[in-house]
């Protein structure tokens, strides 16, 4: 039997106790916290937040699909003020409640700092605030507003296929991607992750533009633009007509894009897209990711993020990987 692996990673100058986070839009602290202890995760990534409240798209905005799902939620959110007042304090409170006397943290199954299961001095779960805007000024305003908060990192979504203005238009044009990245970079000292869309011919071009404009990391992939038709009703299934495909069906595409991007940029990659098991996560590290995010899997089974973390650790232990670095250099 091999020694317990070290799950911790250094990413954008911050220590993560393990490299697993939630994928934006699939994690709500209040809902998820009722099912599993999300303070076991290296980070939690929250739903996209804009300057003012957004109502999202008309319903129906979710449809099942073979190997995945389509969503056209349209980034419904309560706006940055409500986010600062409610979501961030709730997450902080939740995490702190799980601290044991003396500041130690329960770390069953997570290892984290390489210690035995039980307690550990691993760092707190980080908060990644996903931000979105319809124009550059809105992105900048949201980033600025988060400066004095407990958000540890910002993830800038320039890749949502479900809103007409902003979002995807920045993510499919290298010049615009660079412009919005530079503007947000200037507005915050927090580590900045730029979230990329797969709905482009060459994702490496957009990743490099984000890197050159000051991104500390890129995350990929967001959903793939898709559609369903209700043949009996002779109507598109989604009110928005098109939606974003996520789940295991997109994993081969996500892996390919992480692999290519890892060879094109020098900044870390947070990989996501169809991760359903610990072994799926291991594939993303082998492709070049430094951390992974779990999305649709958590909509199928709410405990998926921590289940996948445990499975990843077991996979590493039984296959002789001492740490995440060993996984990242494993590919021949
Ligand atoms: C219902 C739903 C809502 C989402 N909302 C967001 C969002 O607010 N911001 C964002 O950057 N990505 C959003 N995404 C994309 C996910 O974060 C992730 O990139 C994508 O679903 C691929 O990962 P998965 O296959 O593990 O779900 C959403 C995905 C789903 C399924």
Tens of pLDDT along the chain (332 residues) come to: 567 999 999 999 999 999 999 999 999 999 999 899 999 999 999 999 999 999 999 999 999 999 999 999 999 999 999 999 999 999 999 998 887 655 555 554 444 444 444 555 557 999 999 999 999 999 999 999 999 999 999 999 998 766 655 566 789 999 999 999 999 999 999 999 999 999 999 999 999 999 999 999 999 999 999 999 999 999 999 999 999 999 999 999 999 999 999 999 999 999 999 999 999 999 999 999 999 999 999 999 999 999 999 999 999 999 999 999 999 999 97
Is 120 designated active site? no
**Residue 221: which of 206, 238, 242, 241 has the closest Cα?**
206
Q: Which atom of ligand 1 is nearest to the CA of 23?
A: 17
The verdict on residue 266 lying in a domain is: yes
The verdict on residue 152 lying in a domain is: yes
Neighbour-count burial for 273-291, b at 16+ CB within 10 Å, e otherwise? bbbbbbebbbbbbbbbbbb
Pocket of ligand 1 contains residue 282 by CB under 6 Å: no
Question: Which residue's CA lies nearest to atom 11 of ligand 1?
Answer: 157
The verdict on residue 205 lying in a domain is: yes
Q: Which atom of ligand 1 is nearest to the CA of 47?
A: 8
Alpha helix (H) residue ranges in 201-277: 203-212, 251-262
The verdict on residue 70 lying in a domain is: no
CATH number at residue 100: 3.20.20.70
Q: Which of 12, 160, 204, 301 is catalytic?
A: 160
The verdict on residue 229 lying in a domain is: no
Residues with Cβ within 8 Å of 32's Cβ and at least 6 positions away in sequence, in order, are: 22, 38, 298, 302, 305
Pocket of ligand 1 contains residue 222 by CB under 6 Å: yes
Residues with Cβ within 8 Å of 87's Cβ and at least 6 positions away in sequence, in order, are: 29, 46
The total number of structural domains that make up the chain: 1
Strand partners, 269: 218
Whole-model pTM? Answer: 0.94
The verdict on residue 169 lying in a domain is: yes
Question: Which residue's CA lies nearest to atom 6 of ligand 1?
Answer: 25
Residue numbers of the domain that contains 94: 9-56+75-224+247-328
Pocket of ligand 1 contains residue 295 by CB under 6 Å: yes
The verdict on residue 267 lying in a domain is: yes
The verdict on residue 4 lying in a domain is: no
């Amino acid at each position: 039997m091999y020694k317990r692996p070290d799950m911790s990673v250094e990413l954008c100058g911050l220590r993560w106790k393990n490299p697993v986070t939630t994928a934006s839009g699939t994690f709500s602290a209040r809902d998820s916290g009722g099912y599993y202890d999300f303070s076991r995760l290296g980070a939690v990534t929250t739903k996209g937040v804009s300057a003012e409240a957004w109502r999202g798209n008309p319903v129906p905005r979710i449809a099942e699909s073979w190997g995945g799902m389509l969503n056209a939620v349209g980034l419904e959110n309560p706006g940055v003020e409500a986010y600062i007042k409610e979501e961030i304090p709730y997450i902080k409170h939740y995490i702190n409640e799980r601290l044991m006397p003396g500041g130690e943290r329960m770390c069953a199954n997570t290892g984290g700092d390489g210690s035995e299961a039980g307690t550990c001095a691993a760092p707190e779960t980080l908060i990644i605030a996903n931000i979105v805007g319809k124009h550059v000024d809105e992105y900048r305003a949201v980033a600025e507003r988060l400066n004095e908060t407990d958000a540890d990192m910002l993830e800038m979504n320039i890749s949502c296929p479900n809103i007409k203005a902003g979002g995807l238009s920045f993510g499919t044009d290298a010049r615009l991607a660079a412009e919005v990245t530079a503007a947000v970079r200037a507005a915050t000292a927090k580590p900045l992750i730029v979230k990329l869309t797969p709905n482009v011919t060459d994702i490496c071009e957009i990743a490099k533009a984000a890197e050159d404009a000051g991104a500390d990391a890129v995350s990929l992939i967001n959903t793939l633009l898709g559609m369903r038709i209700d043949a009996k009703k002779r109507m598109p299934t989604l009110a928005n007509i098109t939606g974003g495909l996520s789940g295991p069906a997109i994993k081969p595409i996500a892996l390919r894009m992480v692999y290519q991007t890892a060879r094109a940029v020098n900044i870390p990659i947070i990989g996501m897209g169809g991760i359903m098991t610990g072994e799926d996560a291991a594939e993303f590290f082998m492709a070049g990711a430094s951390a992974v995010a779990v999305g649709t899997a958590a909509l199928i089974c709410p405990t998926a993020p921590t289940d996948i973390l445990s499975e990843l650790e077991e996979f590493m232990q039984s296959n002789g990987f001492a740490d995440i670095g060993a996984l990242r250099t494993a590919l021949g």
